[in-house]
Structure formats: structure tokens, C-alpha cells
Amino acid sequence: MKIALVQNEPVQGDPGSSLADLDRLIGQGCGADIYVLPEMFATGQYIDPSSVVQTMDGQIVDWMVQKASFLNAAVCGSLPVKDNGSTYNRLIFAKPDGTIEYYNKHHLFSYSGEAENYTPGNDRVVIEFRGLRILLLICYDLRFPIFSRNRDDYDAVFYPANWPEKRIFAWDTLLRARAIENQCFAIGVNRSGADDFGFYPGHSAIITPYGETLIQTDAEPQMLCAELDMEQLARFRAKFPVLQDADPQ
């Protein structure tokens, strides 16, 4: 299973330009099975998203579906979506066959006012793609280990994010902790650039179940790709069965 971390700098409030930049960044792809993008990868971050909110048949989702088909891979990233009268920070997982799965962000970042303009999701979402079981989460969810807890039902957890430099030590530390405690691959994709909330230093990474850094970006927009060693994961879980000793939910 090959994963691509696609770390871009969104053009604030301009999805068309953001998507054009992503076309150039991704190019012909790297042969990955899944391309993971940041939180709000095409719009930039908005506490009040009314000016950029999307629909499920809108420009950004359509681009994701087309890109998945072109790459013969899944494309995953978050955007503001209005659905049945509510606005969600929604993580879209677009598959190459045109189907879509999604997760609505559960832990809204009240510190910034996100909770005042978005509806929290209630469902914990685990999907399967090409044999990889994935827990879909977003940014602030990283701080909540109980919601991230592996119930022996996933192999990797995704955290697309807008995580600023002033709290990047927490990002690096918590991403490693989630990988170790859940015996999984923790895959975090942060954005590049700056906005009204601060500077974003990248640090997108894949952390192995041993807590080792498989790959990590610097601050620049870029795409890095790496292979997940699923056989190593299976051997590790069989040899050191932490999950079977976990506390009951």
C-alpha cells in the first residue's frame, strides 16, 4: 500500500486556483494507492465558511472524483460542505470507481470559533480500501485519544490538518503517540504557507506502529510518497498483542 502526502498551500477563498496548483503539484502522480491532502485544502481555513461552502456535487468534490479516476487511486481531503441544511468540516474519500465515503469532523476547534459555524459529526468512520482499514479523522481530533482508539478495526489513521507553527511540537508528539498506542500507521498531512491564523510549517508525516518516522515534509508545498509495510504491521501485532489488552470502550 503506497501513500502520497500532498502538502499544498491553499489560495484563500479561491478553489479554482488551489485546484490548479494541486494539478501541478500532483502531476502524473507517484503510483500511490491513496493521495492524502490537508484540511480545507482548496478553500483555506474559514471560521465562517459561508463564502466558500461547497455541496457534494460542487467544484471541489467533482475535482476529487476526476483526479481519483485519472490516478486510479483514492483522493482524500477536507472541505466545508453544506448538506441537509447543516455545514460540516467533511473529510471526503473519493475512490477511482467514482464512489465516495466521508467523515464529518467530530471535535470542532472551539478555541477558534469553529464550533459556532459548523455542525459536529457524531459517527466514527472506518473504511476499507485495497485491503487497508482506515480510521478517518481531522486535525483537532488528534488531541483526543479515546475517539482515536483502535478497536482492532483499523490499520492506519488519517489526520488532514491546518496545524500552525506555534503548536507544531504538539502535532509531532501526538501523531507519534497515536501510532504507538494504537499499533497503526499514523498519517498526518498539514498545509503549507500562512493565513490570518498563523504560519504552517508542514511536518506532514507517516509514523510507523513502532513510532518511527517513515517520511516527513519540510515547510514547502510538496508531495512525498512511501510504502506501508503491512506484513511488518501484522508481525508486530502478532508478536506484541497490545490491542487485545486494551481497556474496554
Beta-sheet strands, E only, within 37-147: 74-83, 86-94, 100-104, 126-129, 132-136
CA nearest 80: which of 112, 48, 109? Answer: 48
H/E segment holding residue 35: strand 34-36
How far is it, in rounded angstroms, from Cα 182 to Cα 159?
Answer: 14
| Residues forming beta bridges with residue 220, ordered by sequence position | none
For residue 135, report the phi and psi dihedrals to the nearest 5 degrees. -90, 125
How far is it, in rounded angstroms, from Cα 120 to Cα 87?
Answer: 9
Q: How many helices (H) and strands (E) does the chain have?
A: 4, 14
User: What is the 3 state secondary structure string of 117-183?
Assistant: CCCCCCCCCEEEECCEEEEECCHHHHHCCCCCCCCCCCCEEEEECCCCHHHHHHHHHHHHHHHHHCC
Helical packing angle, 59-71 and 15-26, nearest 10° = 10
Residues annotated as part of the active site:
39, 105, 139
